[in-house]
Chains A and B, each alone.
Chain A
Amino acid sequence: DAGVIQSPRHEVTEMGQEVTLRCKPISGHNSLFWYRQTMMRGLELLIYFNNNVPIDDSGMPEDRFSAKMPNASFSTLKIQPSEPRDSAVYFCASSSLAGGQNEQYFGPGTRLTVT
C-alpha cells in the first residue's frame, strides 16, 4: 500500500517567493495533519483537517501560511511570501478516525530552504 506522499521532497527558493507543498494522504484516512520540524522547536502542528474540513489552524504561524484540502486525497500548504525563518522540514501525516488509537502515519517530508 502507498503511504503518505509528499512533493516536492526538497525545495530551495528565494525570500519573497511563493511556495506550495503538496500531500496525498493514505487512501481511506480521513484526518490530515501538517507539521513543521526544526532543531530548535521540534515537531510543531500547523493545522489539521477532519473529513476535509479544517479543525484547528492555531499552529499556523502567520497569515503568510495557508492550507487547503479540496478533496479527501489531496492537500496543499502554501507560504506566500516565504522568509528565511520558514526554512524547516514540513511533514504531512494522516490517520483514520475509525482507528482505535488514532495512530498517525507520516509522509517523507519536504525540506524547505528559503535563502
Chain B
Amino acid sequence: RKEVEQDPGPFNVPEGATVAFNCTYSNSASQSFFWYRQDCRKEPKLLMSVYSSGNEDGRFTAQLNRASQYISLLIRDSKLSDSATYLCVVNNGGNTPLVFGKGTRLSVIA
C-alpha cells in the first residue's frame, strides 16, 4: 500500500463550482500535513499546511482527520487559474523528508 494515496482524477469542473479532494495516509505517526500545488511543467509549491483543527485560506479549506488518517482540500468558487495538480503531503516527524502523493489533477472549465 502506498504511504499517501490520492485519486489521480482528472476532475473537470465548471468555473464557480466547489470541488473536494481527499487523501489517505498509512503512517499513524505522521506529524504534519500539507497540500502542494503543481502547475504543468513547473515545480511543486506549497499551497497550505493542514492543521488538526482545520484551516481556511480564502477559497481553500483543509481538514485533517487523524483517527481515519484522512486529509481533504475543498476549493470553493473555482477559478480557471485553479487548474493544476494538487499533491497531498505528509511528514513523519523530525528531519525526515516529506512524503508526496502522486497528485490529483484539476481542470476548471469556462
Give the interface of A toward B (CB within 8 A).
31, 33, 42-43, 45, 48, 50, 55-56, 91, 97, 101-109
Contacts and interface: CB of A to CB of B under 8 A. Distances in A.
18 contacts: A31-B95, A42-B100, A42-B101, A42-B102, A43-B102, A55-B95, A91-B44, A101-B32, A101-B34, A101-B49, A101-B91, A102-B91, A104-B46, A106-B43, A106-B44, A106-B45, A107-B43, A108-B42
Nearest to A35: B100
A103 B46 contact: yes
Interface of B: 32, 34, 42-46, 49, 87, 91, 95, 97-98, 100-103
A102 B32 contact: yes
Contacts of A102: 32, 91, 95, 98
B91 A43 contact: no
Contacts of A101: 32, 34, 49, 91
Tell me the dominant secondary structure on chain B's binding face.
strand
A55 B97 CA distance: 10
Contacts of A43: 44, 87, 100, 102
Nearest to B87: A43
Nearest to B46: A103
